């Protein structure tokens, strides 16, 4: 008997940084572990173990934001994650999702930027035992909404 697992992925093209005790980004080699003491790059997404979004950051829960008060962030995200593009745009929704780089990979479907897809893993050990066992830890993804505007150079 085969075991099926559904895994949700959200594809996005912002900087995703993860580190043990350090905040890493393309703009600075390392930052202190306190995001309020270090200015982030607008559109940068990070894992955050706290139960609040620090000043200048917002949870990645798909919320709609007004364009007129978030023009810099809108110029980076556009309507990739939703919104009408006239008055609103949406942040990525990373609740219960795993971010992956857009494009193709061996044995996987083509992942498009901003599209959420389900991938089914079909694996079983001889004798019908489940082959995949994952330890999951709930953490928050946050996105920088105020900070340094990223340079294309």
User: Model pTM?
Assistant: 0.69
The mean predicted confidence, pLDDT, of the chain is: 77
How would residue 98 be classed by pLDDT, with cut points 50, 70 and 90? Answer: confident
Distance CA 20, CA 8 (A): 25
Give tens-digit pLDDT for 127-145: 666 555 667 889 999 999 9
Distance of alpha carbon 17 from alpha carbon 19, whole angstroms: 7
Q: Which of 15-19, 80-84, 145-149 has the lowest mean pLDDT?
A: 15-19
DSSP the chain: --EEEEEEEEE--S-EE--SS-B--SSSS-B-S-GGGSPPBTT-EEEE-SSSPPTTEEE-B--EEEGGG-HHHHHHHTTTTS--SSSEEE--B-TT-EEE-SB--TTSPPBPTT-EEEEEEEEB-TTS-B---------EEEEE-SSBPPP--
Token pair recorded at residue 119: 């991938």
What does the domain layout of the chain look like in residue ranges?
Answer: 3-144
Q: How confident is the model at residue 69 (pLDDT cuts 50, 70, 90)?
A: very high
């Amino acid at each position: 008997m085969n075991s099926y697992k559904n895994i949700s992925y959200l594809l996005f093209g912002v900087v995703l940084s993860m580190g043990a005790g350090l905040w890493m980004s393309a703009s600075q080699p390392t930052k202190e572990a306190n995001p309020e003491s270090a200015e982030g790059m607008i559109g940068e997404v990070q894992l955050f173990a706290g139960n609040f979004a620090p000043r200048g950051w917002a949870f990645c829960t798909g919320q709609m934001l007004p364009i007129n008060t978030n023009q810099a962030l809108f110029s980076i995200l556009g309507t990739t994650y939703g919104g009408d593009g006239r008055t609103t745009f949406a942040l990525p929704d990373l609740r219960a999702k795993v971010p992956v780089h857009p494009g193709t990979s061996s044995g996987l479907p083509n992942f498009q930027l901003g599209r959420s897809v389900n991938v089914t893993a079909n694996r079983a050990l001889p004798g019908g035992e489940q082959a995949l066992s994952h330890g999951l830890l709930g953490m928050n993804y946050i996105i920088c909404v105020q900070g340094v505007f990223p340079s294309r150079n």
